[in-house]
Amino acid sequence: MNERASVGSEGTIVTGTPFIIEDDRLCITCGFEIRGLPSDGKCPECGTSIEDSLRSGPLFFADPAYLRTIHCGTVIVLVSVGCKIIFPIGAPLIAALANPASGAGAGLVTAITAMFVPWVGSSFGWWLLAAPDPGLKETIRDGRIRRLARALSAVIGVAAAAALPFSFAGGAQASPFGSTAWVAGAALVVGFIVLGVWFFPAMMYLRGLGRRIPNVALRRRAGLMMWVMPLCWAGTMTWPLGQTQLGRTSSAAIVLAPIMGILLLLSVVMYWNALDMLRKDLKRLRRSKAPRNVGRASV
């Protein structure tokens, strides 16, 4: 049975008889707005079947290989974000519990590695998550957003990977890099700046995936995080620098510093929850497209 499907109001999948398109959709050929047109009609500008435009959008119709790629990317990012959350507790413990026979440098090296590896993993996960959909004809705007999110995530990963070896110079006496800790600092500054820019296209891309699933909660969460996360991140990063320039620790700094840290932690938790929603939806879509055994073959 040939059954048509599309996305109706409030992001629900509608199947069956022809219906009027209630959400914002564009023709895949000419970009004409097809909202308000019947699903079994044609684009009034170019004559492309509206059903073809609908089938190019929802992830329900995406290629299983593409769904597997972005699902794996989402899982990798989730694991990396979880490591970032536990790092403030785990790194000091790693350094403190290092084997005394190996010296203090071994604990520092292990702690630094535990800090940078999640950033590299998160960047790799986003590289997969923002992979192009071979079955989707993107609009110019959507394509630019996805490519920008993917490229900036790669820059963040390269910056973290570049800073990793040079960070050992400050703690290992026999470091082959010599006094080059400034290279790690420069790489981190570049990574933090790019990260502040990356938030916007990344959350816009997540919002687009929420529309294609569809998941209204994911769309709203991504739209909120697009502004909340950069503000929390910028405030948390600039506050210690401002106190360092002042050369003193005021009572206001003692009170506001933990508040800024809590805000950053909450923003990271919101980010993790949004990605977890995406993971569950992608898992459900992959299961719905998996072949099912209808019976056992006789032996």
Each residue's pLDDT tens digit in the chain (299 positions)? 334 444 443 344 444 577 888 766 777 667 678 888 888 888 888 888 887 777 657 787 788 999 999 999 999 999 998 887 776 565 556 555 555 444 445 555 555 666 678 888 999 999 999 999 987 777 788 889 999 999 999 998 888 887 776 655 544 444 444 455 666 677 777 877 888 889 899 999 998 898 888 788 898 899 888 888 777 776 666 555 545 444 455 565 556 666 766 777 788 888 999 999 999 999 999 998 766 544 443 33
Residue among 264, 265, 133, 268 nearest 205 (CA):
133
Q: Which residues of 193-224 are buried (b: 16+ CB within 10 A; e: fewer)?
A: ebbbebbbbbbbbbbbbbbbbbbeebbebbee
Residue among 127, 149, 135, 290 nearest 208 (CA):
149
Residues whose CB is less than 8 angstroms from the CB of residue 21 and which lie 6 or more positions away in sequence, other chains included: 6, 8, 34, 35, 36, 37, 38, 39, 50, 54
Residues 44, 51: Cα–Cα separation, whole Å: 13
* Per-residue tokens: 67: 């769904």
Residues 49, 122: Cα–Cα separation, whole Å: 39
Residue 65 amino acid letter: A
Residues whose CB is less than 8 angstroms from the CB of residue 123 and which lie 6 or more positions away in sequence, other chains included: 153, 154, 156, 157, 158, 160
Residue 181 amino acid letter: A
pTM: 0.70
